[in-house]
């Protein structure tokens, strides 16, 4: 079949996952994307398997899609990986093939009016007002977004939990659900696990008070500082944003000791460096908040929005400590380690760090589960059966 894949915005991990899932398929796939995104993936092993049509920087989204309208219109399936802007442009497009929209924020796209949520701070009130003026009213988002969503044949999700939440709450019907394509699949090329020196604990992602709460981690490290029998490196693997991030880094640096090495960054971490550190990590901590706001809509991690940290756990195959309020299905719970308080987190860290045998066995258990649930062939077989 001919498949047109469109990603002109920013969900790079989902593009990567899509390419890995379809790499061994017989489908004829063309990816329509930006120069920046193409440059990110052009050296990947799967890149030559696909045809890439690249939008130059000064070309408009409308101009690019209309330039390639005839080619896209020949596709049997048109897969929109992200539509987060230019709703008027996407609404005007009418392709012959069946259309799939990947839903990253279920409340925003499927039930927006019931889930407005504005945090009452000056910054967030200003941000919300700006959105209403520039996009909601200025770009007529309130009119075009529902039209774009309603014209899609199918919806695809990055997580089974989000799909189940959407169906349970009757946001859409089962007939409109395309098989789940996980945000990450396990990469067997990096299926080694060595502890040669320090145990590396990594907290990946942007340091932003709107996304994470680092205080329990700081307090937990204070509690274990004098109980460690092994040296550890704690890596804050993300770009710091604002005064909160400065405070976080300063508090972590105060924890430096003969047994604790702290590593942080002053700006954006390149993907190559990110991969290097993550593939050398032994334990992840995800101090994510229970919910977040996309534009002016509340999204709940694990229910309406897939956590990127789950994708990182899948991609890099190491244990991950999550707050106890993040939702996972019963099967996934088998490989999830949780914490509720700083003391609880401290005990969890000590269990992994002071007992390497446990760390290694838990990692093997997680990888076996991930290989089974996120195995590329199984995912592709399900998609092929659906597309027949």
Contact 60, 54 (CB under 8 A): no
Q: What percent of the chain has pLDDT above 70?
A: 96
pLDDT of residue 222: 96
Q: What is the pLDDT of residue 388?
A: 85
| Start-to-end Cα distance in the chain | 9
pLDDT for 102 equals 98
* H/E element, 233: strand 232-237
Q: Tell me the per-residue pLDDT of 94-118, one tens digit each, with 9 for 90 and over.
A: 999 999 999 999 999 999 878 867 7
**Closest to 32 (Cα-Cα) out of 142, 3, 356:** 3
Q: Is the pLDDT of residue 251 over 70?
A: yes
Provide the whole-model pTM. Answer: 0.88
Q: Give the tens place of pLDDT for each residue, 4-43.
A: 999 999 898 899 999 999 999 999 999 999 999 999 999 9
- Token pair 């796209």: residue: 109
* Strand partners for 299: 292
Closest of 257, 255, 253, 233 to residue 245, by C-alpha:
253
Q: Which residues contact 58 (CB under 8 A, 6 or more apart)?
A: none
CA distances to 104, 270, 337 from 237, in Å: 23, 10, 20
Q: In sequence order, what DSSP letters do the residues of 266-322 get, joined into one string?
A: SSPPPHHHHHHHHHT-SEEE--B-SEEEETTEEEEBTTTB--HHHHHHHHHT--EEE
From residue 20, give the alpha-carbon distance in Å to each of 117, 188, 293, 380.
36, 12, 30, 10
Rounded to whole angstroms, the Cα distance separating 375 from 338 reads 25
Distance CA 102, CA 366 (A): 27
Quick one: tokens of 13?
Answer: 């991990």
Predicted confidence band at 122 (pLDDT cuts at 50, 70, 90)? Answer: low
Distance from chain centroid for Cα 108: 16
Compute the distance between CA of residue 350 and CA of residue 372 in angstroms, rounded to an integer. 29
User: Rounded mean pLDDT of 254-263?
Assistant: 94
At 171 the three-state DSSP class reads coil
Query: Could you read off the pLDDT of 299-340 as tens digits, one per residue?
Result: 999 999 998 888 888 888 899 999 999 988 888 888 999 999
Q: Which helix (H) or strand (E) holds 172?
A: none
Per-residue pLDDT at 190 exceeds 60: no
Of the ranges 51-65, 240-254, 311-325, which one carries the lowest mean pLDDT score? 311-325
Q: Is 87 helix (H, G, I), strand (E, B) or coil?
A: helix
Domains and CATH numbers, the chain: 2-181+376-387 (3.40.50), 188-373 (3.40.50.2000)
350-356: average pLDDT? 94
Q: How far is CA 246 from the centre of its chain?
A: 24
Query: Which residue is associated with the tokens 């509720």?
Result: 340
Q: Give the residue among 292, 289, 354, 282 at the shortest CA–CA distance from 319.
A: 282
186-203 mean pLDDT: 77
| Full DSSP string of 133-158 | IIIIITT-HHHHHHHHHHH-SEEE-S
């Amino acid at each position: 079949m001919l498949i047109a894949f469109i990603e002109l915005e920013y969900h790079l991990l989902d593009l990567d996952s899509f390419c890995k899932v379809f790499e061994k398929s017989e489908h004829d796939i063309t990816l329509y994307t930006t120069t920046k995104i193409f440059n990110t993936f052009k050296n990947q092993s799967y890149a030559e398997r696909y045809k890439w049509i690249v939008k130059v920087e000064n070309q408009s989204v409308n101009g690019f899609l209309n330039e390639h309208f005839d080619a896209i219109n020949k596709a049997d399936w048109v897969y929109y990986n992200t539509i987060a802007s230019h709703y008027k442009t996407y609404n005007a497009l009418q392709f012959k093939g069946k259309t799939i929209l990947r839903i990253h924020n279920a409340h925003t796209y499927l039930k927006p009016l019931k889930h407005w949520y504005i945090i009452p701070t000056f910054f967030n009130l200003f941000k919300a007002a700006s959105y209403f003026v520039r996009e909601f009213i200025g770009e007529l988002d309130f009119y075009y977004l529902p039209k774009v969503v309603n014209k899609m044949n199918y919806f695809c999700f990055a997580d089974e939990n989000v799909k189940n939440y959407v169906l349970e709450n009757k946001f859409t019907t089962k007939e409109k659900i395309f098989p789940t394509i996980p945000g990450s699949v396990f990469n067997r090329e990096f299926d080694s696990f060595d502890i040669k020196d320090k145990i590396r604990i990594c907290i990946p992602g942007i340091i932003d008070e709107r996304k994470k709460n680092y205080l329990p981690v700081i307090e937990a490290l204070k509690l274990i500082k004098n109980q460690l029998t092994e040296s550890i490196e704690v890596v804050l693997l993300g770009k710091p944003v604002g005064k909160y991030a400065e405070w976080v880094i300063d508090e972590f640096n105060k924890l430096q000791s003969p047994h604790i090495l702290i590593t942080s960054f002053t700006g954006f971490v390149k993907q190559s460096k990110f991969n290097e550190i993550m593939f050398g990590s032994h334990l992840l901590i995800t101090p994510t908040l229970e919910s977040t706001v996309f534009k002016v809509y509340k999204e709940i991690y694990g229910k309406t929005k897939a956590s990127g940290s789950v994708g990182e756990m899948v991609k890099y195959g190491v244990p991950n400590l999550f707050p106890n309020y993040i939702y996972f299905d019963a099967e996934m719970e088998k490989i999830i380690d949780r914490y509720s308080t700083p003391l609880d987190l401290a005990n969890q860290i000590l269990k992994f760090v002071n007992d390497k045998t446990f760390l290694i066995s838990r990692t093997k258990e997680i990888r076996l589960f991930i290989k089974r649930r996120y195995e590329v062939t199984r995912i592709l077989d399900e998609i092929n059966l659906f597309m027949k």
